[in-house]
Amino acid sequence: MAEIDKDDLISIIEENHDVEDVPETLPLMPVRDVVIFTDMLLPLFIGRERSIEAVDKALSSNRYLMLATQKDPASEEPGPDDIYGVGTVCRVLRMLKLPDGRMKTLVQGICKARILEFVGEEGPLFVRIERMEEKEVEELSMEAEALVRTVRDQSEKILAFRGEFSGDVGSILDSIEEPGRLADLVASNLRLKLSEAQELLEIEDPVARLRRVSDLLIREVELSAMQAKIHSEVRDEISKNQRDYFLREQVRAIHKELGEADERTQEIEEYRKRIKKAKMPKPAQEEATKQLRRMEQMHPDSSETAVVRTYLDWLLDMPWNKSTKDVLDIKKAKQLLDKEHFGLERVKERILDYLSVRKLNPSMKGPILCFLGPPGVGKTSLGRAIAAAMGRKFYRLSLGGIRDEAEIRGHRRTYIGAMPGRILQGLKQCESKNPVFMMDEIDKVGSDYRGDPSSALLEALDPEQNAEFSDHYLNLAFNLSSVMFILTANMTDTIPSALLDRMEIIEIPGYTPEEKLEIARRYLLPRQIKENGLQKDALILGDAAIKLIIEEYTAEAGVRNLEREIGTICRKAARKTAEGHTGKIRVDRANLSKFLGIARFQPEMDKDENQIGLATGLAWTSVGGEVLYIEASLLPGKGELIMTGQIGEIMQESARAALTYVKANLGRMGKGASYLDDLDIHIHVPAGAIPKDGPSAGVAMITALASAITEKPVNQDFAMTGEVTLRGRVLPIGGLKEKALGALRGGVTTILIPEKNRKDLAEIPSSLKRKMNFIAVKDVEEVLKKAISEDVLAATPPPSVKKVKSKKKATP
């Protein structure tokens, strides 16, 4: 009705139509999605061929047309059963044919009619109708008048909610007194369902129809009130944001007119330039562009904007395409490695091999090396030397004590304060995608409810997978194949097997006394003199004094404590210089105790003479090799085995196996088979506060037991190592060089080793071989002949148990 002039609408509604001239047979035009009421003016767009023909028939006769609503709006060719039986007789007021073949008409509802039957089968549908006469209400009852007023008031409320109420509309509503016409007018302008509108059309009683309209109006008023309330709440909530947004847009427009750019625009443009300049992979560039578009649409002070800004900064700062050029001069690299580190020939050879292959094949993947050795042997400093030799950036990550998986792979961006893992942090700090990345103490990584960091390292340390390493924060694949990972560990026992399988283990054993002396002279002493502010020639520390420090003031495989003791001497010298001492300060064996105090390390046992029941074994710990003393004593008892000294389960099993071998060979030792039945055997390992475990002390336990049983002393110049079987075979052991160095520190120069360890002597330095005597043995008999005497085990085997044949009695 909004398209029709107001005066025309009033005149049409107030006009009294004479419906007597409406014929009984009319052309039918089905309409969809609308129900037409009396006095209703409606423009219709007609496109169906049969409907156009029906309008043409009406225009060619008396301009009357029967309009009825079809039940299914989607039906293109509705039949008699698809059309409601009650419709409205309309008069075609205007008609306009459109260029596309359609027709636009303006129709006016005249009266309601009921379809009695359909006439004709071809062409437009004709129907025979029966007019439904409107019941005239001569005088309104109290109820009807109240209904009229209620409907008027409710209609005005709805129009007020919609913002469509005006004085003209109120005049139209006040001018209509008949309940039926008022009901049709209000119903034609309500947003009713098709079924509800058809229900109203079919109600003949005007008062009943108005009552039904009143009910529908009440529901519509409630819905409109609720909708208005929701709109009001939403408008209040966003009004401030809209106001701020409009103000910012106005400021931006002002800056644009002045030829200036505001801070927000400058920031967005700067990010856009950085994205183009970063040369990121296509997935990363697409993600950065997507996040920048999100950031443009956000409030600059919102928390989400800060999250996106931080993410973009990390994304753009990553060295996607930045790398350092490798220095592939093999001779120069060898000179640098030799200058920085003394010894460690095997490690240096492996690094030079890698550089050589890298020179021939620049596209090779970075290796995963693991330096295994005791503390203080230079594992970490060796990583720095490798980076310097290759001309790469160096980054060190300490893994000791890390228990959170997110330290390796980062946090999800959904968490407050999320950031990438330590690997990507290191790459960002290095500003290079091919640094030397050192991970210290890989054997000391823990795990708890926050995850297992060692498992998170599997992808990063696998050359076949780390080309697409995914960090939880970036959530994008980053190529780690150019990174040279170097890990350090003191032992492999605590490293998960899956992670250990991805590494190339390079063992770095402890240093010999000669190597320590050379390291102290070349590196430790000059560095400590410089750090303590002394002149180059102000302190003279002789080789004899350094050897004494190595022997009696330190007991280690590396040189960390040696440097600490040299630093103590330098501090004492610095104090003397600061107090006014002039001239050089000399330190030798005679006055060393004045600088370092009394010697800290003395032999655990008295080895001046050979002793019964005391054998010298060798142990390999995470801090190097050590001398391990085994004591055995016999005392009256019930044949029980007593073990003390914090012995682990494996070592206890070795003790039981040693006792079984000894019992099986009592006859060859000159003892009866029941010799130990009334004796308890006590095996003790001194330094009882230190836990000990491992099978390599088996030969030392058998030697100590055999010495105690035969009452013959063990030669204290011998140390021994090896696992034994019940038949007396000596099995190979590990860590031969570390154990040899431990024996040398303990003052032992002759070592009995398993025959199968003879091949490991090739890895022992010549200087160490010249000082020590290695004797390879196959079985316990050889061990006892060397360590005790030749006649401990007699050549004749122990007497066998004779079988007694039972005599059968003759049957009577």
806 within some domain:
no
> Of the residues 94, 115, 131, which one is the last residue of a structural domain?
131
On whether both 545 and 652 belong to a single domain, the answer is no
804 within some domain:
no
Helix, strand counts (H, E) of the chain: 27, 24
pLDDT single digits (tens) 642-666: 888 888 888 888 888 988 988 888 8
| Annotated catalytic residue within 482, 654, 696, 707 | 696
Can you list the residues of the chain whose pLDDT is less than 70? 1-20, 121-124, 137-138, 161-170, 237-238, 240-241, 255-256, 258-262, 366, 448-449, 451, 602-608, 622-624, 688-689, 790-791, 794-812
pLDDT of residue 246: 76
Domain count, the chain: 5
On whether both 641 and 747 belong to a single domain, the answer is yes
Residue 739 a catalytic site member: yes
On whether both 33 and 125 belong to a single domain, the answer is yes
pLDDT of residue 682: 92
Q: Can you spell out the DSSP letters for 266-296?
A: HHHHHHHHHHHHH---HHHHHHHHHHHHHHH
On whether both 638 and 663 belong to a single domain, the answer is yes
Other Cβ atoms less than 10 A from the Cβ of 219: the count is 9
Binding region for ATP: 373-380
Binding region: 373-380
Neighbouring residues of 727: CB distance < 8 A, sequence distance ≥ 6: 661
On whether both 415 and 489 belong to a single domain, the answer is yes
**φ, ψ (nearest 5 deg) of residue 418:** -65, 150
Residue 696 a catalytic site member: yes
pLDDT of residue 798: 47
pLDDT of residue 608: 59
Nearest Cα to Cα of residue 673 among 761, 797, 507: 797
E strands in 659-777: 679-684, 718-720, 723-724, 730-731, 750-754, 773-777
Residues of the domain holding 656: 614-787
605 within some domain:
no
> Domain with 767 in it: what CATH number?
3.30.230.10
pLDDT of residue 367: 77
On whether both 291 and 394 belong to a single domain, the answer is no
> Domain with 519 in it: what CATH number?
1.10.8.60
279 within some domain:
yes
On whether both 274 and 369 belong to a single domain, the answer is no
243 within some domain:
no
> Domain with 503 in it: what CATH number?
3.40.50.300
232 within some domain:
no
pLDDT of residue 12: 47
> Of the residues 113, 131, 149, which one is the last residue of a structural domain?
131
> Domain with 125 in it: what CATH number?
2.30.130.40
On whether both 471 and 579 belong to a single domain, the answer is no
On whether both 763 and 639 belong to a single domain, the answer is yes
Amino acid in position 503: M
Which tokens sit at 39? 């006095």
| Annotated catalytic residue within 112, 348, 692, 739 | 739
Which tokens sit at 733? 């052991």
On whether both 20 and 44 belong to a single domain, the answer is yes
Can you name the residues that pair with 724 across neighbouring β-strands?
730
159 within some domain:
no
409 within some domain:
yes
On whether both 711 and 589 belong to a single domain, the answer is no
On whether both 367 and 415 belong to a single domain, the answer is yes
> Of the residues 466, 487, 507, which one is the last residue of a structural domain?
507
Helix (H) or strand (E) holding 390: helix 379-390
